[in-house]
Amino acid sequence: MLDTLERAGRPWRVAFDSNSLAGVLAALRAGLGVAALLPTNLEPAMACHDADALPVLPDVELGLARHPRSEGDPLIDAVETALRRTI
Protein backbone atom coordinates (compact mmCIF):
# COMPACT_ATOMS: atom_id res chain seq x y z
CA MET A 1 0.00 0.00 0.00
CA LEU A 2 2.78 2.44 0.90
CA ASP A 3 4.68 1.68 -2.32
CA THR A 4 1.51 2.39 -4.29
CA LEU A 5 1.09 5.76 -2.56
CA GLU A 6 4.74 6.60 -3.25
CA ARG A 7 4.46 5.71 -6.95
CA ALA A 8 1.30 7.84 -7.21
CA GLY A 9 3.15 10.80 -5.67
CA ARG A 10 0.74 10.93 -2.74
CA PRO A 11 2.24 12.26 0.48
CA TRP A 12 1.61 10.07 3.52
CA ARG A 13 2.74 9.48 7.10
CA VAL A 14 2.10 6.76 9.63
CA ALA A 15 -0.46 8.03 12.15
CA PHE A 16 -1.15 4.68 13.81
CA ASP A 17 0.29 1.17 13.59
CA SER A 18 -1.26 -2.02 14.91
CA ASN A 19 -1.02 -5.75 14.29
CA SER A 20 -4.60 -6.08 15.50
CA LEU A 21 -7.57 -5.78 13.15
CA ALA A 22 -9.61 -4.43 16.07
CA GLY A 23 -6.99 -1.71 16.60
CA VAL A 24 -6.94 -0.75 12.91
CA LEU A 25 -10.74 -0.62 12.79
CA ALA A 26 -10.81 1.59 15.91
CA ALA A 27 -8.30 3.97 14.29
CA LEU A 28 -10.38 4.11 11.10
CA ARG A 29 -13.55 4.81 13.11
CA ALA A 30 -11.69 7.67 14.80
CA GLY A 31 -10.77 9.10 11.40
CA LEU A 32 -7.02 8.65 11.80
CA GLY A 33 -6.43 7.65 8.20
CA VAL A 34 -6.88 4.92 5.63
CA ALA A 35 -6.11 1.21 5.54
CA ALA A 36 -6.08 -1.58 2.98
CA LEU A 37 -8.52 -4.20 4.22
CA LEU A 38 -10.47 -7.07 2.77
CA PRO A 39 -14.03 -6.04 1.90
CA THR A 40 -15.36 -8.40 4.57
CA ASN A 41 -13.53 -6.35 7.23
CA LEU A 42 -15.01 -3.02 6.18
CA GLU A 43 -17.91 -1.38 7.89
CA PRO A 44 -20.29 0.53 5.57
CA ALA A 45 -19.09 3.95 6.75
CA MET A 46 -15.47 2.98 5.99
CA ALA A 47 -15.87 2.41 2.26
CA CYS A 48 -14.08 4.82 -0.04
CA HIS A 49 -16.86 6.66 -1.87
CA ASP A 50 -14.55 8.56 -4.25
CA ALA A 51 -12.97 6.12 -6.70
CA ASP A 52 -10.28 8.69 -7.60
CA ALA A 53 -9.36 9.54 -3.99
CA LEU A 54 -6.66 6.88 -3.74
CA PRO A 55 -4.61 4.88 -6.24
CA VAL A 56 -5.73 1.36 -7.08
CA LEU A 57 -3.84 -1.25 -5.07
CA PRO A 58 -2.17 -4.18 -6.80
CA ASP A 59 -3.45 -7.71 -6.34
CA VAL A 60 -1.99 -9.63 -3.41
CA GLU A 61 -1.05 -13.29 -3.53
CA LEU A 62 -2.08 -15.37 -0.54
CA GLY A 63 -1.04 -18.91 0.25
CA LEU A 64 -2.48 -21.54 2.53
CA ALA A 65 -0.36 -24.45 3.76
CA ARG A 66 -1.74 -27.36 5.75
CA HIS A 67 0.08 -30.17 7.42
CA PRO A 68 -0.87 -33.50 5.81
CA ARG A 69 -2.05 -34.85 9.17
CA SER A 70 -4.63 -32.05 9.40
CA GLU A 71 -6.71 -33.53 6.55
CA GLY A 72 -10.18 -34.36 7.81
CA ASP A 73 -9.87 -32.25 10.98
CA PRO A 74 -13.29 -30.52 11.13
CA LEU A 75 -11.99 -27.36 12.83
CA ILE A 76 -9.10 -26.88 10.41
CA ASP A 77 -11.39 -27.71 7.47
CA ALA A 78 -13.82 -25.02 8.69
CA VAL A 79 -11.02 -22.43 8.96
CA GLU A 80 -9.82 -23.28 5.45
CA THR A 81 -13.37 -23.01 4.08
CA ALA A 82 -13.85 -19.62 5.75
CA LEU A 83 -10.55 -18.33 4.38
CA ARG A 84 -11.35 -19.51 0.86
CA ARG A 85 -14.77 -17.77 1.00
CA THR A 86 -13.14 -14.54 2.15
CA ILE A 87 -10.71 -14.28 -0.73
Q: List, for residues 11-38, the tens digit of each pLDDT value.
A: 999 988 999 999 999 999 998 888 888 8
Tell me the per-residue pLDDT of 48-77, one tens digit each, with 9 for 90 and over. 777 788 898 898 888 888 899 998 999 999
Percent of residues in the chain assigned helix, strand, coil, to nearest 5? 45, 0, 55
Close Cβ partners of 16 (under 8 Å, ≥ 6 residues apart): 23, 24, 27, 32, 33
CA distances from 36 to 28, 48, 64, 74, 77 (A): 11, 11, 20, 31, 27
Q: Is the pTM of this model over 0.75?
A: no
